[in-house]
């Protein structure tokens, strides 16, 4: 027997399982479409419609057997569940937007701390170099001057500048821990290429 909602048949003649089956056949696709209009996600819409039928079955004794009442119950259940999903997703998005930047900021802060510590260690090691090595290294590595510019400024040969820079690197290798020296060498190599 087909359930015709317009004529509102006597549902008493049908078993609860038959009523449920008829409503599922007639309303599941409509409820999925209705939920999809709110959620914009087919899988979530299908799950929401199925959950509405499960809720109907669990509360079948409490819901009037009038077809309009059953239809209203199903649509109301889908609407409320869909709106709850939307609200939950907004809360999740708000949480992500509030805390994701903090994680990025934390990583940036940690990187700045590490850079500061490394640079402080390099500057401290450079201060222990002999005066001529220190001056030439600062001019070449920190101020970015070329070898010929350093030679002209100090009135020395380019070979002396190169020798002093090599000597400075050898001494820094001994004074810095291997990781810090590797960073220094990488930065200096990158800045001169």
Per residue in 41-58, pLDDT tens?
999 999 999 999 899 888
142-169 per-position pLDDT tens digit: 788 899 999 999 999 999 999 998 998 8
**What whole-number distance in Å separates Cα of residue 75 and Cα of residue 28?**
10
Domain 127-191, CATH number (from 1.10.287, 1.20.1550, 1.10.3470, 1.10.10)? 1.10.10
| Residues whose CB falls within 8 Å of the CB of residue 188, separated by 6 or more in sequence, listed in order | 141
| Residues whose CB falls within 8 Å of the CB of residue 149, separated by 6 or more in sequence, listed in order | 139
Q: Where are the domains of the chain?
A: 11-95, 127-191
Any idea which of 39-48, 102-111, 121-130 has the lowest mean pLDDT? 102-111
Mean pLDDT in the chain? 81
Domain 11-95, CATH number (from 1.10.1060, 1.10.10, 1.10.1740, 3.40.50)? 1.10.1740
- The larger pLDDT score, comparing residue 8 to residue 126, is at 126
- Is it the case that residue 8 has pLDDT exceeding 60? no
Long-range contacts of 34-41 (CB under 8 A, 24+ apart): 34/75, 34/78, 34/79, 34/82, 35/78, 35/81, 35/82, 38/79, 38/82, 38/83, 38/86, 39/82, 39/85, 39/86
What's the mean pLDDT in 80-105? 79
- The larger pLDDT score, comparing residue 88 to residue 4, is at 88
What's the mean pLDDT in 161-186? 85
Report yes or no on whether pTM surpasses 0.85: no
Q: Which of 165, 169, 176, 155 is nearest to 135 (CA)?
A: 165
């Amino acid at each position: 027997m087909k359930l015709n909602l317009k004529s509102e048949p006597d549902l008493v003649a049908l078993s609860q399982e038959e009523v449920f089956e008829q409503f599922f056949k007639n309303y599941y696709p409509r409820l999925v479409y209705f939920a999809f209009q709110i959620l914009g996600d087919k899988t979530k819409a299908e799950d929401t419609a199925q959950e509405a039928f499960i809720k109907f079955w669990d509360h079948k004794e409490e819901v009037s057997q009038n077809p309009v009442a059953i239809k209203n119950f199903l649509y109301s259940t889908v609407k409320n569940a869909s709106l709850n999903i939307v609200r939950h997703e907004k809360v999740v998005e708000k949480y992500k937007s509030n805390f994701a930047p903090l994680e990025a900021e934390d990583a940036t802060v940690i990187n700045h701390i590490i850079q500061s510590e490394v640079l402080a260690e390099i500057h401290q090691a450079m201060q222990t170099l002999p005066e001529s090595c220190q001056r030439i290294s600062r001019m070449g590595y920190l101020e970015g001057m070329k070898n010929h510019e350093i030679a002209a400024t100090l009135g020395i040969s380019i070979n002396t500048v190169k020798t002093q820079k090599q000597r400075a690197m050898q001494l820094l290798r001994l004074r810095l821990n291997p990781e810090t020296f590797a960073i220094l060498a990488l930065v200096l190599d990158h800045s001169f290429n």
